[in-house]
Amino acid sequence: MGTVIRRGSLADQATEALMTYITENGLGDGDPLPATGELAALFDVSVPVVREAVAGLAAIGLLKRQQGRESVVSTPNASHLSRLLAFRVSNAAVDDESIQQFREVVEVGSARLAATNRDESALAELDSALHNLRAVEGDEALHAADIAFHAALARASGNDMFSLTLDALEPLLQRLRRRVWSGWVSSGGDLASIVEAHAVILERVRAGDADGAGKAMSDHLAQARHGLENPAHNPAVSE
């Protein structure tokens, strides 16, 4: 039985009805939708309203429109989801403490999973990332190398949600890193101890020690918290 739209924004309601139709009919990646006119009759709306709903779902990767043919169901890829999350976060007031708390939960879990699921390819990428971190000269290079190491660790976890989420949050994480690095240096911290913390994480991941990798990441993020909580910082300095 069709979903008849009675109230609210017709385009929004049509979008919800279309998503319900896809789910209830068990449509998966590559399956075609009925003709636009058929959907309009099913939902009791005009064809332009259905077209607007289809365009909206295509924009977020749930549908794929084809020239001269009906739209087909599509599975959103990481770039679609990342853009959605990034847009949502960019329009929310998220402070540095919230981002730090997020890291303390998510990145510890990421390190634990990396120790469990790592393979030779992931370890080679982490080795390269650590090598680049050891060789940095200047704050901008350090910042980029640090991001690269944590991104490689997320990929080593084998769970795309870690990479997806961290990629989407990158602008906020960059802001946090700058503040953390400034506070760390102001309190007498040095680069060598930061690099060593990353080396310990990799060592535990390589050994397949999930508990040890989680603890090593927790210890590293304690360094970040120290930098965050140090009042003498200069946000213009980049990690």
Question: Residue 8: pLDDT band by 50, 70, 90 thresholds?
Answer: low
Q: Are residues 130 and 212 in the same domain?
A: yes
Dihedral sign for Cα 178, 179, 185, 189, please.
Answer: negative
pLDDT for 3 equals 56
| Residues β-bridged to residue 69 | 66
pLDDT for 232 equals 56
Q: For 29-49, what is each residue's pLDDT tens digit?
A: 999 999 999 999 999 999 999
pLDDT for 33 equals 94
Q: Are residues 136 and 208 in the same domain?
A: yes
Q: Are residues 91 and 46 in the same domain?
A: no
Q: Are residues 92 and 207 in the same domain?
A: yes
**Is residue 239 domain-resident?**
no
What are the C-alpha distances in Å from 160 to residues 19, 78, 200?
Answer: 24, 8, 23
**Is residue 2 domain-resident?**
no
- E-state strands within the chain: 63-66, 69-73
**Is residue 238 domain-resident?**
no
Between 118 and 3, the more confident residue is 118
User: Strands 69-73 and 63-66, how do they pair?
Assistant: antiparallel
Q: Are residues 27 and 138 in the same domain?
A: no
**Is residue 64 domain-resident?**
yes
Q: What is the number of other CB atoms lying within 10 angstroms of the CB of residue 235?
A: 11
3-state secondary structure of 9: coil
Calculate mean pLDDT across residues 15-26. Answer: 93
State the CATH number of the domain containing residue 22: 1.10.10.10
Q: Are residues 104 and 178 in the same domain?
A: yes
- E-state strands within 117-239: none
Question: Residue 2: pLDDT band by 50, 70, 90 thresholds?
Answer: low
pLDDT of 52 over the 60 cut: yes
Domain boundary among 46, 73, 100: 73
Q: Are residues 25 and 87 in the same domain?
A: no
- Report the number of distinct structural domains present in the chain: 2
Q: Are residues 98 and 133 in the same domain?
A: yes
CA distance 74 to 214: 36
In the numeric block, which tokens belong to residue 151?
Answer: 């991104």
CA distance 176 to 143: 11
**Is residue 134 domain-resident?**
yes
Calculate mean pLDDT across residues 2-27. Answer: 80
Q: Are residues 186 and 206 in the same domain?
A: yes
pLDDT of 7 over the 70 cut: no
Between 236 and 10, the more confident residue is 10
**Is residue 234 domain-resident?**
no
pLDDT for 239 equals 40
Q: For 143-202, what is each residue's pLDDT tens digit?
A: 899 999 999 999 999 998 898 888 888 888 888 999 999 999 999 999 999 999 999 999
Can you give the length of the chain in residues? Answer: 239
Q: Are residues 127 and 43 in the same domain?
A: no
**Is residue 41 domain-resident?**
yes
Q: For 55-99, what is each residue's pLDDT tens digit?
A: 999 888 889 988 778 899 988 776 676 677 767 766 667 789 999
Q: Are residues 51 and 144 in the same domain?
A: no
pLDDT for 212 equals 98
CA-wise closest residue to 156 among 130, 117, 129: 117
Q: Are residues 205 and 124 in the same domain?
A: yes
Range of the domain at 157: 80-229
Contacts of 1 (CB under 8 A, 6+ apart): none
pLDDT for 100 equals 94
pLDDT of 1 over the 70 cut: no
**Is residue 123 domain-resident?**
yes
